[in-house]
A and B are shown apart, each in its own frame.
Chain A
Amino acid sequence: MTTQSTLAPPDLTPVVTIKIAATSDEMLQCYALRAAVFMGEQACPYDEEFDGNDYTATHVIMYVDGEPAGSMRLRWFQSFCKFERCVVLRRYRGLGIHHTLNAWCKDFARRKGYTKAYIHLQKRHMPMMEKEGFRRVDDTVFKFSDHEYYAIYCDLAPSADAITLESAPMVVNRPEDRLDEAGVLEMSAERGASNPHAPHAPRPERHAN
């Protein structure tokens, strides 16, 4: 057994991890963060926060040392990806991790073939997003949920390995935030193709009971 002669200083850097919300639990984490920030801090009414688009979107969850700390909702249009509902929980602010989250989402959108990110930004955040290369679409200022907004966008560098029609079919099937790792369906290929189908059988008469 060796004796350690010096004590290494503890590594206190917070570990930030980001992934797509892929389970109902991870979705709940996104919703909880949004409720905390938008309903709790910004007095947003429930039905404006949960506006009917949550089930047509991709949700991204960010952890700091394993604790849900931030979230983003992404919606996909033909010519752009819309970043919305961006939150960082109050106690994780000031670390600059929303830039980490934005950068992750930009890369994610690039990999899916998008070359524009679009945001409805609360006016007060403009200086922060200008640093990231966003600029205003036009001079319009619009209002909803008690805030003033600008429409802003930024160009995303086209990705060399973006998903296209020519991408390998099984790559398109992979979890979208892990396009470089074999997905569960590729493993299913080992079973071969027995083309199973249940034979058609007349259904017995059923009654509610």
Chain B
Amino acid sequence: MTTIPASIDGVPVTTRTAMKMEDSLQAFAVRAACFIGELDVPYTEEFDGHDFGATHIVAYLGEEPVGTVRMRWFQAFAMPERLCVIQRFRGHDVGRLLIERCRKLAESRGCNMLYVHVLPNDMAYWEKQGWRRLDPEAPPASNGTVALVRPVAEAQAVVAEQTPEVVTIRQHAPASGASRG
């Protein structure tokens, strides 16, 4: 069983699945602070149209929302994305706590595989936690990210055979005029 220290200065850090408008506003506020405020991501890329078809998990320090992650669901895998922790609360494993919550949620839904897109600079962080490249030979995607996977079952070591054979993810929307199925 993974034990993740869940407190900062004695105040417990908890995670909750967003269930009300107010909860998702907290998730959106944390993401806006990190991605729009800190990383200069354009609004339309940050709020990309997937937010109302996804599950949001929020981490709280006491009552203060300090981190969040969004989970999207596919048959072949569950995809944590938009993982972020407000700058001044970093360094306390809140991110790992959120990912662990994702893992448990995926497990409860019978998912086998978690799949993420990460920036090459963050690879070490993820690899330390058992994530492996989906295809070690593949070059980074057009947005500079690398695909990583890890099995949902905690005991399972990561072996290549357990990765799905085909992973289809949403690419950039086709230009207007492109065929619509």
What would 18 more interface pairs be, CB under 8 Å, given A34-B29, A45-B64, A46-B65? A28-B25, A28-B47, A31-B25, A32-B29, A32-B46, A32-B47, A33-B32, A33-B36, A35-B31, A36-B32, A39-B29, A39-B37, A40-B86, A46-B29, A50-B25, A50-B29, A67-B42, A91-B40
Interface centre among A28, A49, A89 (most CB of B within 10 A): A28
Interface of B is mostly: helix
Asked if A146 is at the interface (CB within 8 A of a chain B CB), the reply is: no
Q: Which of A37, A46, A89 contacts B64 (CB 8 A)?
A: A46
How far does the Cβ of A88 sit from chain B's closest Cβ, in whole Å?
Answer: 12
How far does the Cβ of A1 sit from chain B's closest Cβ, in whole Å?
Answer: 24
The 8 closest A-B pairs by CB, nearest first: A40-B37, A36-B37, A40-B33, A35-B29, A32-B32, A35-B32, A36-B36, A39-B33
Beta-carbon contact of A32 and B28 below 8 Å: yes
Asked if A138 is at the interface (CB within 8 A of a chain B CB), the reply is: no
Beta-carbon contact of A40 and B34 below 8 Å: yes
Beta-carbon contact of B64 and A47 below 8 Å: yes
Asked if A180 is at the interface (CB within 8 A of a chain B CB), the reply is: no
Taking CB as reference atom, which chain A residue is nearest B33?
Answer: A40
CA gap between A93 and B25 in the complex, in Å: 25
Beta-carbon contact of A40 and B38 below 8 Å: yes
Residues on the A chain within 8 Å of B28, using CB: 28, 31-32, 35
Interface of A is mostly: helix
Q: How many residues of A contact B (CB 8 A)?
A: 23
Asked if B114 is at the interface (CB within 8 A of a chain A CB), the reply is: no
Residues on the A chain within 8 Å of B64, using CB: 45-47
Taking CB as reference atom, which chain A residue is nearest B34?
Answer: A40
Q: How many residues of B contact A (CB 8 A)?
A: 24
Asked if B87 is at the interface (CB within 8 A of a chain A CB), the reply is: yes
Within 8 A of A (CB), among B28-67: 28-34, 36-38, 40, 42-44, 46-47, 63-65
Given A31-B28, A40-B86, A46-B65, the answer on whether A67 and B33 have CB atoms closer than 8 Å is no
CA gap between A136 and B25 in the complex, in Å: 35
Cross-chain pairs A/B with CB under 8 angstroms, 24 sampled = A28-B28, A31-B28, A31-B29, A32-B29, A32-B31, A34-B29, A35-B28, A35-B29, A35-B31, A35-B32, A36-B32, A36-B36, A36-B38, A37-B37, A39-B32, A40-B38, A46-B26, A46-B29, A46-B65, A47-B64, A50-B29, A68-B43, A89-B36, A91-B40
How far does the Cβ of A14 sit from chain B's closest Cβ, in whole Å?
Answer: 14
Asked if A99 is at the interface (CB within 8 A of a chain B CB), the reply is: no
Residues on the B chain within 8 Å of A28, using CB: 25, 28, 47
How far does the Cβ of B120 sit from chain A's closest Cβ, in whole Å?
Answer: 24
Beta-carbon contact of B43 and A32 below 8 Å: yes
Residues on the B chain within 8 Å of A49, using CB: 29
Interface centre among B31, B37, B43 (most CB of A within 10 A): B37
Bitwise interface map of A from 151 to 167 toward B, beta carbon under 8 Å scored 1, else 0:
00000000000000000
Residues on the B chain within 8 Å of A43, using CB: 88
Beta-carbon contact of A39 and B86 below 8 Å: yes
